[in-house]
Amino acid sequence: MGADKLQLRSFWFWVLIASYILFAIFLIYPLSSLFSGSFQDITTGAFTLKHFITFFTKRYYYNSLFNSFKVTICVTVLTMLVGIPLAYIMSVVKIRGKDFLQILIIISMLSPPFIGAYSWILLFGRNGFCTNFLRSIFGVTMPSVYGFNGILLVFTLKLFPFIFIYVSGALKKLDVSLVEAAEGLGCHPLRKLFTIVLPLVLPTAMAGALLVFINALADFATPMLIGEGYMTMPVMIYNEFISEVGGSANFAASISVILVFLTAVVFLLQKYVVGTKSYVMSSLKPIQPKRMRGWKNVLAHLFCYSFVLLAIIPQATVIFTSFLKTSGPVFLMEFSLDSYTKILSKSADAILNTYRFALLALLIIVVLGMLIAYLAVRRKNIASSVLDTISMFPYVIPGSVLGITLLLAFNKRPLLLAGTSAIIVITFVIRRISYTIRSSSAILYQIAVSTEEAAIGLGDSELASFLKVTTRIMMPGVLSGAILSWITCINELSASVLLYTGKTKTMSVAIFTEVNRGNYGTAAALSAILTLTTVVSLLILFKVTGNKEVSM
Amino acid sequence: MSTAITFSNVVKKYAKNVVIPALSLEVRNGEFFTLLGPSGCGKTTLLRMVAGFNSIESGEILFDNIVINQIPANKRNIGMVFQNYAIFPHMTVGKNVEYGLRLRKTPKQELKARTDEILARVKIEEYRDSPPERLSGGQQQRVALARAIVINPKVLLMDEPLSNLDAKLRVEMRGTIREIQRSVGITTIYVTHDQEEALAISDRIAIMDKGVIMQVGTPRGIYQRPYNVFVATFIGFSNLFDAVVGQSGAEKTLEFSNGYTVPIKQLKNDVKAGEKVRVSVRPEDFVQAPEGDGIRGTVRTSTFLGRYVNYQLIVEGQEMEFVQDLRADAEFLTDGQEVWFSVAPEKINVFDQTGGHSLIEGVVRFGS
C-alpha cells in the first residue's frame, strides 16, 4: 500500500510536470515572444513603442479597431435580439419539428465559419443566383451584400445559436412556479416576461453573448471574404503578416497584442458583471411548451422557421451547388459530379490531411484533457488550478493571433516547426482542448470519489483504479467534449491559414483558397464533405450523450 | 371580504384521460380547508384549477356565485403559495412582497405600510433588503406567505407548502400558517399528503382518491367516523374484520368469525340481522381481555415508543396492530405470547361488505 501510494504520487506528479512543460513550450513561450516581439524593432531588435504609436496615430490602422468593435457590438446585440426570442418561443410554444430545428441550429453553429460568407456571396453577391434571378425576372436590384451589412448578416446568422443554446438551457432551469407565482399575483403575460423571465435568464444570455463577442471579434474569414475592404483587426493582422513577411511581422504582433488585450478585458468584464449577478436555479418542474391556436401559433412558427432556415441556407447552398457543373466561377444549371472528381485528384491531400491532423490532435486532446481534468478536480492544489487556468487561455486568443504567435516562436532552430504538420496538430490541440477538459471535469464532479475508493478497497492500486474504473465512467463526458474538439478542429481556419504550406494544407484552407481563386465548384464540394463530416460527428455526439443538446 | 368557493361537477381531463370525474364541493367563507390524499389523487390538479393554471374541462368553479372558469389566473385575485416557494431570486425579500402591490398600482405610502405590516406579521422584517438565497427554507416560506396575502386575495391556495422543510420546522410553520390564516380570516385551500399535518391545521378536510372525494369532514369526524374503508385505513391505522350483524332481543350485535359477539347501538336502522359487514377497529380501541373471551391474537413483534407500545399481532392469519398505553399497571407482552382482546363497541366502525360506505347512524360522505 505504502509503495503504491508513493508510486502514485510520483505518477500524478510527473503528469503535472509534463503538462506544465508542454504548456510552457507551446503556449507560454510563444505568447511571451509575441509580447516581446511587439515591442521590438525588427532590424535592431531594440525595445521600441513605435508599432503601437503607429497603430494609434494612423487612421488607417486605428480605424480597424473601431470597425472591429462596431461589428462585434452590433452582432452581439442582433444575436441577442434573435436568439432570446427564439429560445423563449420554442420553450413556451409547441413548435412542430422542434427537435429538427434544434439540430439545424447546432449544425449551423458548428459548421466552418467561412461557409456563411461564401454562400451569401453565391446567392446575393454581384453575380449571385438570387441577384441575377431577381434582376432578370422582376428588375429588382438587391442591396449590396458586401461590406459592413454583409458581415453583420453572416455573423448574426452564424452566431445567434450560441445565445439560443445558452438561453434555452437557462429556461429549462426556470421553474414554472416562478412564472405562475407572478401570474397569481396578477401579472399580465407580457409584463411577466420582462419582470421575471428576462431578468432571470439575462446572466446566462450574457455568457452566450460573450462567446458571440469573442467569436465575432476573432473571426477573420468572414470579413475577409464578404467585407470587401471593410478592415477589421483580424483581417489587418493577416494582411500585415502575409503581405510582406519580415518587416510587418512585429507590427502584426503589436496589433495581435492589442486584440488579445481587448478580448481579455471584455472577458474579465463579463465574468465580473455576470459573476455578481447569476442566480442558482434548479427546477422541479420546467416550463412546458403549450399548444397555441390561431394567428399566434402561425406567427410563432413563422418566426422560428424563418430564422432557422436562414441560418441553414449556407449549408444547403454548398451541398446543392457542389452537385452542379461549373464553368470557371459560374455554376451551370446542370447536375454533375465534376466538382467531386476534381477535388479527388486535386485536393485529395487536403482531405487526408484534415482527418490525419485532426485525429492525431484528438488523440492528444483526449489523453491530455482527461489527465488535466483529473488533476484539476481530484488533486486540487495551486499548481493544478493554475494549469487549468492556463489551458483556458486560448479561449481569448483569436486563431489568427495564435497562428502568428506559433510562427514567430517556432521559425528557428532548435524548435524549427514552421511548415511542418506538427505545428498544425499543435495548433489544433491548443485551440480546441478546452472543450474536452471542461466536459471531463464536469463529469468528474458528478462521479463520487467513493467509486474510486471502492475499487481501491477491493484491492486495486490507485493508478489501476483510475485506469480501470474512473476513465471508464468518465468516457461519456470525455467523448461529448472530444467530439466538439474534433468538429472544431476539422473546421479550423484562422490559424491554419497562416501556418499551412503546400504539403500541410487542410480542407478548410483549401476551401478558402479555392474561393479566393473563384473555383466555387470545388470549394462547394470540399465544404459539402466538411459539412457532412460535421453532421455525422454531431449525430454520434447525440447518440453518446443521449440528448439533442450541445454545451459549448 | 373573504369568499366561499363552490365546485359544481368539475371535470379535469388530459386528452382522453379523466383525472377528476365530476367533483362537487363547497368550501365555506373563511374556512381552512384541506385536500388530503395519496400522491396522484388529483388534489394538486384541483387546486391549480382554482388558481387558473389548469383548465376546467366541464362543470364550474364559483367564487361567491361568480363563475371563474374563463377568468385568467392573473385576474382571479388569488394568493398562491408553492411547494418550492417560487421566490423570485432576482429580487430582495421586500421587492418580492411588493411585487403584487406594484402590479395593482398601489400608492407608494400604502405600499410601504402594507409591506411593513405583513413582513412584521410573518416575522421577517429584518430581511427586507436581503436577497432571498440567504434565507433558510422556513424564512423563504414566510416570504412566500407574505407575498401571497399582502395583496388581500379572495382566497389563499397552498400547494404542499411545508413538504420541503424538516420535521421540527414543519410543526412550527404550520402553527404560524394557521395563526395568520385565522387573524386574516381568509378562505384557504391547503393541499397536503401528510395526514398529521392535515388533522392539525384544518377546519375541514376532503379526502381524495383517484379524483373522487371519499369524505369531507372535520379532522375529528374523519378520524373517528370514517365514511368508508379507504378513509379508515388512509387516516391512521385500522384493523379490519369480517362480521355478521345479529339480533339479541331489541339490540343489534356484531358476530365476529370466531363467535365473539358484541352489542352495537349506533347502527343505522335499515341494517338487517344476517347482513355481512366489514368492521374496523383502531389499534388503541382493543382492550385486553381474559383468556377465552374475545378475539385471539399472537404477538409477533413489538415497538417501544415511550408513551406507548405498538404491537404487531397475528390474528386469524392476518397482521394487525394493537397500541398499549403505558399506565403504571401495564404489563409488557412478549413476542410469541397469546393474547385475547375485546373491542370498545362504541368506538368501532362498521361498513357494508364492500367497504364502500359506513353503516353507522349519522355518518355521511359530505359532512359539516
Q: Is the pLDDT of residue A280 over 70?
A: no
- Helix, strand and coil in chain A, % to nearest 5: 75, 5, 20
Q: Which residues contact B238 (CB under 8 A, 6 or more apart)?
A: B226, B229, B232, B280, B281, B282, B349
Q: d(Cα A163, Cα A159) in Å, to the nearest integer?
A: 8
Q: d(Cα B200, Cα A255) in Å, to the nearest integer?
A: 74
pLDDT of res. A415? 79
* Residue A304 or residue A418, greater confidence: A304
DSSP codes joined into one string, A171-199: HHHSBHHHHHHHHHTT--HHHHIIIIIHH
Q: d(Cα A383, Cα A23) in Å, to the nearest integer?
A: 13
CA distance, residue A183 to nearest chain B CA (Å): 5
> What order of strands is seen across the sheet that includes strand B5-14?
B17-27, B5-14, B58-63, B66-67
Hey, what's the cell of B35? 385536500
pLDDT of res. A275? 65
pLDDT of res. A384? 86
Encode pLDDT of A211-220 as tens digits.
Answer: 899 889 988 8
Average pLDDT over residues B323-333: 79
DSSP codes joined into one string, B11-63: EEEETTEEEEEEEEEEE-TT-EEEEE-STTSSHHHHHHHHHTSS---EEEEEE
Task: Check the CA dihedral B303-B307-B308-B310 and report its sign.
Answer: negative
Mean pLDDT, chain B, as a whole number? 91
SS3 A226: helix
Q: Residue B292: pLDDT band by 50, 70, 90 thresholds?
A: confident
Q: ipTM of this predicted complex?
A: 0.79
Identify the contact set of chain B against chain A, taking CB-CB distances under 8 A: 51-53, 72-80, 82-84, 86, 88-90, 99-100, 103-104, 133, 144, 147-148, 151, 157
Q: Residue A424: pLDDT band by 50, 70, 90 thresholds?
A: very high
CA distance, residue A29 to nearest chain B CA (Å): 44
Between chains, do A181 and B104 touch, taking CB under 8 Å as contact? no
Between chains, do B51 and A191 touch, taking CB under 8 Å as contact? no
Cβ atoms of residues A537 and A484 within 8 Å: no
Between chains, do A181 and B83 touch, taking CB under 8 Å as contact? no
Look up residue A548 and give its amino acid.
Answer: K
Number of H helices, E strands in chain B: 8, 20
Task: Check the CA dihedral B107-B113-B116-B121 and report its sign.
Answer: negative
Q: d(Cα A90, Cα A95) in Å, to the nearest integer?
A: 6
Q: d(Cα A18, Cα A12) in Å, to the nearest integer?
A: 10
Average pLDDT over residues A38-63: 85
Q: Is the pLDDT of residue A8 over 60?
A: no
Q: Is the pLDDT of residue B196 over 70?
A: yes
pLDDT of res. A9? 64
Q: Which residues contact A278 (CB under 8 A, 6 or more apart)?
A: A203, A204
SS3 A73: helix
A vs B: CB pairs below 8 A:
72
A376-404 residues labelled b (16+ CB within 10 A) or e (exposed): bbbeeeeebeebbebbebbebbbbbbbbb
Q: Is the pLDDT of residue A187 over 50?
A: yes
Q: CB distance from A279 to chain B under 8 Å?
A: yes
Q: d(Cα B157, Cα B79) in Å, to the nearest integer?
A: 6
Neighbours of B24 (CB within 10 A): 13
Look up residue A240 and give its amino acid.
Answer: E
pLDDT of res. A282? 67
- Of all residues in chain B, the percent with pLDDT exceeding 70 is 99
Hey, what's the cell of A489? 478542429
Encode pLDDT of B261-278 as tens digits.
Answer: 999 988 998 888 899 999
* Residue A455 or residue B222, greater confidence: B222
Q: CB distance from A187 to chain B under 8 Å?
A: yes
Cβ atoms of residues A70 and A77 within 8 Å: no
Query: Which is nearest to A225 in space by CA: A154, A161, A131?
Result: A154
Q: d(Cα B222, Cα B228) in Å, to the nearest integer?
A: 10
CA distance, residue B204 to nearest chain A CA (Å): 25
Encode pLDDT of B44-80 as tens digits.
Answer: 999 999 999 999 999 999 999 899 999 988 889 999 9
Cβ atoms of residues B111 and B97 within 8 Å: no
Q: d(Cα B23, Cα B18) in Å, to the nearest integer?
A: 12
Closest residue, chain A, to B96 (C-alpha): A182
Between chains, do A180 and B90 touch, taking CB under 8 Å as contact? no
Q: Is the pLDDT of residue A85 over 90?
A: yes
Element (H, E) at A204: helix A198-218
Between chains, do B77 and A175 touch, taking CB under 8 Å as contact? no
Q: Residue A425: pLDDT band by 50, 70, 90 thresholds?
A: very high
Q: Mean pLDDT highest for which of A370-374, A432-436, B188-192, B333-337?
A: B188-192
Between chains, do A186 and B147 touch, taking CB under 8 Å as contact? no
Q: d(Cα A61, Cα A57) in Å, to the nearest integer?
A: 8
SS3 A490: helix
Q: Is the pLDDT of residue A552 over 90?
A: no
Q: Is the pLDDT of residue A195 over 70?
A: yes
Q: d(Cα A458, Cα A391) in Å, to the nearest integer?
A: 35
Q: Residue A4: pLDDT band by 50, 70, 90 thresholds?
A: low
SS3 B108: helix
Q: Is the pLDDT of residue B306 over 50?
A: yes
Q: Is the pLDDT of residue A349 over 70?
A: yes
- Of all residues in chain A, the percent with pLDDT exceeding 90 is 31
DSSP A40: B
Closest residue, chain A, to B50 (C-alpha): A184
Cβ atoms of residues A252 and A237 within 8 Å: yes
Q: Residue A544: pLDDT band by 50, 70, 90 thresholds?
A: confident
CA distance, residue A182 to nearest chain B CA (Å): 8
pLDDT of res. B1? 57
Encode pLDDT of A123-157 as tens digits.
Answer: 888 878 888 888 888 877 777 888 999 999 999 99
Q: Residue A2: pLDDT band by 50, 70, 90 thresholds?
A: very low
Q: CB distance from A194 to chain B under 8 Å?
A: no
Element (H, E) at B217: strand B212-217
Between chains, do B73 and A184 touch, taking CB under 8 Å as contact? yes
CA distance, residue B101 to nearest chain A CA (Å): 8
Peptide bond between residue A414 and the one before it cis (omega within 30 degrees of 0): yes
**For residues B12, B16, B21 and B25, what is the CA-based torsion angle, rounded to 10 degrees?**
10
Show residues of chain B in contact with A281, CB under 8 Å. Answer: 89
Cβ atoms of residues A387 and A23 within 8 Å: yes
Q: Residue A1: pLDDT band by 50, 70, 90 thresholds?
A: very low
Q: Which residues contact A218 (CB under 8 A, 6 or more apart)?
A: A234, A259, A263, A398, A399, A400, A401, A494
Hey, what's the cell of B250? 331489541
Look up residue A384 and give its amino acid.
Answer: S
* Residue A499 or residue B367, greater confidence: A499
Phi, psi (rounded to 5 degrees) for A428: -55, -50
Average pLDDT over residues A171-180: 88
Q: Residue B107: pLDDT band by 50, 70, 90 thresholds?
A: very high
Q: What angle do CA A368, A371, A372 make, to 5 degrees?
A: 85
Hey, what's the cell of A240? 500585415
Q: Residue A278: pLDDT band by 50, 70, 90 thresholds?
A: low
CA distance, residue B222 to nearest chain A CA (Å): 32
pLDDT of res. B288? 87
Show residues of chain A in contact with B99, CB under 8 Å. Answer: 182, 185, 187, 195
